[in-house]
C-alpha cells in the first residue's frame, strides 16, 4: 500500500480540522464568559497575546496543545472538565 498525499480530511468526511478548532474556541469562550473574564483578561492570565486569543476563540488558529494548557490553567479548569464540555457543543 502506498502513502496517499491526501489528508485524512480529503479522504473521508469523518474528520474536519476546522470543526475541532471551532469547538475549542467555543468552549474557551463559554468558560471565559461564565467566569466573567474579557478576552484581554484571559490572555493576560494565560500569558498569550490578546489577538491570538481572539483568533483561537474564533476557530481561526490551529492552537498548540501547550497554549491550550495555558488557557485551561488560566480558566482554572482541568483538562477533563474542559474537554467534557465538548459533548454540549
Task: Return the CATH number at 25.
Answer: 1.10.260.40
Does residue 39 sit within a domain? yes
Measured torsion, CA atoms of residues 81, 60, 66, 3, in degrees rounded to the nearest 10? 100
**42 close to 70: Cβ distance less than 8 angstroms:** no
Has residue 30 been placed in a domain? yes
The closest of 68, 30, 28 to 48, measured between CA atoms, is: 68
Q: Is residue 3 part of a domain?
A: no
| 60-85: pLDDT as tens digits | 999 999 999 999 999 999 999 999 87
**pLDDT tens digit string along 20-66?**
999 999 999 999 999 999 999 999 999 999 999 999 999 999 999 99
Euclidean distance between CA atoms 46 and 57, whole angstroms: 14
pTM over 0.85: no
Can you give the residue range of the structural domain that contains 21? 16-88
Question: What pLDDT is attached to residue 16?
Answer: 66
Amino acid at each position: 500500500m502506498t502513502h496517499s498525499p491526501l489528508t485524512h480530511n480529503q479522504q473521508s468526511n469523518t474528520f474536519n480540522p476546522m470543526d475541532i478548532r471551532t469547538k475549542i474556541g467555543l468552549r474557551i469562550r463559554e468558560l471565559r464568559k461564565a467566569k466573567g473574564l474579557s478576552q484581554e483578561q484571559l490572555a493576560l492570565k494565560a500569558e498569550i497575546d490578546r489577538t491570538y486569543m481572539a483568533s483561537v476563540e474564533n476557530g481561526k488558529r490551529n492552537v498548540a496543545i501547550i497554549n491550550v494548557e495555558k488557557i485551561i490553567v488560566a480558566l482554572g479548569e482541568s483538562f477533563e472538565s474542559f474537554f467534557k464540555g465538548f459533548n454540549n457543543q
